[in-house]
Structure 1
Amino acid sequence: MFIPPMLLQYAKNNEPFDDISTFAELKWDGIRLIVSNMKELNLYTKNTNATAKYPELHNPPIPKGTILDGEIVVLDEQGRADFEATNGGFRSSKKRKPVVFMAFDILYHQGLDVTGLPLIRRKQLLEETLQETDHYRIVRPINGSAKDFFDIVCQHGLEGIVLKKKDSKYFKGVRSWSWQKVINYQKAEVYITGYSKKENSWLLGYPDGDRIRPIGALELGITQSARESMWPVFQSFKSGESKDHVYIKPIVRCKVKYRDWYKSGAMRLPVFEEFII
């Protein structure tokens, strides 16, 4: 039984806040998964039945009639989520590393829909229902300041935190302000080295000694005004082209925020912020 997962909003200005009516918990950097153990077990991502892909999750420590929401992650030697390994294993089963399901909510309990209950009660039911194992764990809210918690998350290079209203219901398939995420973005100054002929994206380069190293494409955050202001510059400083891209001389710099770096050297999810004049 598939249930479309409840989605998060970005916290205002991507900043944490302290509120006694709100939980704060770690945001695990993986792939969203619904574990549905009704008449039969099914493992659902947002748009795929992934049951066959993860045999290590096939004996969930929960009774029939239970549906859980959470995140699957591959953990590194320090116990941190390795998104690249998690995503790579989802795309290809070759040399896939075992995943851990980090459960943060319960949607069905003893065959009954409990999404209408307040989150604080659902958290209690989750504790009562799930017996933790090597492959099934519970994401617990922290005690204390969300602001201080976020500082610690940033110090350890983790993805971010989630702020959830304690009395919030579970809104299936809805992006709700009852759940807000605060992301630990990194910042960088990069060069624009080209643009796509087919998509609204720019190629980026990063200073590396005496050269500009390609680090992938920028798609997020580019406004229409930014695109229009750069078009004459792009046309004046073309340096070549391929089937899919037009290359320009690296004279324009901009500020971006991003998640982290892939092992390939590409920047993960860069977001345009402003030009550097």
Structure 2
Amino acid sequence: MFIEPMLLETAPGPFSHSQYIFEPKVDGHRLVFDQEAGRVRLFTRHHNDCTSRYPELVHPFENDITLDGEVACVDPSTGVSDFESVMMRLKTGKHDRIQRLTKTLPATFVIFDILRYRGKDLRSLPLVQRKEILSGIKLPSKAFGIMPFIESEGESLFAQIQRMKMEGIVGKRKDSRYVSQRSAAWQKVINWTYEEVYLTGYRKDEFGWLAAVPDLSGKLRPAGIIEFGTGPKDRKDFYIKSQRLETGEDKSFVYLKPEIRAEVKIRNWTKAGLLRDPVFTRFIIN
């Protein structure tokens, strides 16, 4: 049985609170693990069946169960989950390649909630009670783990996450019931990185600013497209400045002299050297 996941709201910043528990935010993708009549099925948050993608996770528990968590592929050199690796696993469809990847790029299911157990729906129980039940469950293999958490001290955990260069933290009310919608009872705090970029063009058909950064030789190289974080005034200011900087265009983009600089916040850099999820924060004035 698929259960629509409970989604996070975004907190303005790290916080501590006696009525919350705090967990590390794993940089993977959401997974609902469902076992009914001994049959295991895996679902993404959008109800896509991804059971065949993760054969190492198709291990039955002692009793039928529904679990919520995150699939992660951990970089052995850093001990930190690598988002691009787990996306590769999710998108790989060929059976023989999937089998190879279970050895070279194994997935781990990090469980943070239990929604159903032994035929009983647990969603109306307070979070701390669900956590207690989860802690007593025997895991079927080493590919499964239970998310650690601390009580109250969110700011302390966030400081550790920053030092480890992990994605962020999640704060959850101890008394929260599980609801299949976005809820302020669960809040995420992202560990953003701030970067300076040059704006070298814009998209024609929909909003998007081309970003570039200097390479090791000082020459600008493409770094992605900024789509979020701008307000009407930012877009108007950019449009006014860009009129005198146009150098050419093609079917998709208008190109500019690299004279406009901006600050963006990103989750991290991709392996291809692109900004991951860049969000505009401000223009940089010389």
TM-score when scaled to structure 2? 0.91
Count of residue correspondences: 273
The SS at the match of 1:129 is coil
1:153 has 2:161 as partner: yes
Corresponding residue for residue 23 of structure 2: 25
Structure 1 residue 178 and structure 2 residue 185: aligned? Answer: yes
Please provide the CA RMSD for this pair.
1.5
Q: Tell me how far 1:234 sits from its aligned partner.
A: 2.1
Q: Please, which of 262, 268, 272 is the counterpart of residue 280 of structure 2?
A: 272
Aligned counterpart, 1:72? 71
Deviations 1:115-146 (A, max 9, x none): 11000000011112242632110002125622
Separation in 2 of the partners of 1:79 and 1:133? 19
Q: Give the whole-Å Cα distance in 2 for the aligned partners of 1:130 and 1:9.
A: 31
Which residue is 2:41 aligned to?
A: 42
Letter matched to residue 37 of structure 1: Q
Of the structure 1 ranges 266-275 and 207-216, higher mean CA displacement relative to structure 2 is found in 207-216
Q: Do residues 99 (structure 1) and 139 (structure 2) align?
A: no
In structure 2, relative to structure 1, the CA distance for the partners of 1:60 and 1:200 (3 Å cut) is farther
Equivalent pair of 1:34/1:67 in contact (CA under 8 Å): yes
Distance (Å, rounded) in 1 between the aligned partners of 2:150 and 2:160: 12
CA–CA distance in structure 2, aligned partners of residues 130 and 198 of structure 1: 53
1:200 maps to a residue whose letter is: F
2:172 corresponds in structure 1 to: 164
- SS of the equivalent of 2:212 reads strand
The alpha-carbon distance between structure 1 residues 123 and 234, as it changes in their structure 2 partners (threshold 3 A), is: same
Contact 2:20/2:151 (CA < 8 Å) preserved in 1? no
Q: Distance in 2 between matches of 1:62 and 1:196?
A: 54
Structure 2: 5+ residue stretches without partners: none
Q: List, as ranges, runs of 4+ consecutive aligned residues in structure 1 with deviation greater than 3 Å.
A: 93-96
- Matched residues in 2 for 1:144 and 1:21: separation? 7
Q: State the match for 1:7 in structure 2.
A: 7
Q: Which moved more, 1:119-128 or 1:131-140?
A: 131-140
Deviation of the 1:153 alpha carbon: 0.6
The offset of 1:257, in angstroms, is 0.5
Please report how far the alpha carbon of residue 188 of structure 1 lies from its aligned counterpart in structure 2 after TM superposition.
Answer: 0.9
Letter in 2 for 1:139: M
Q: What is the CA distance between 1:34 and its match in structure 2?
A: 0.2
Change (3 A) 1:253 1:134: same
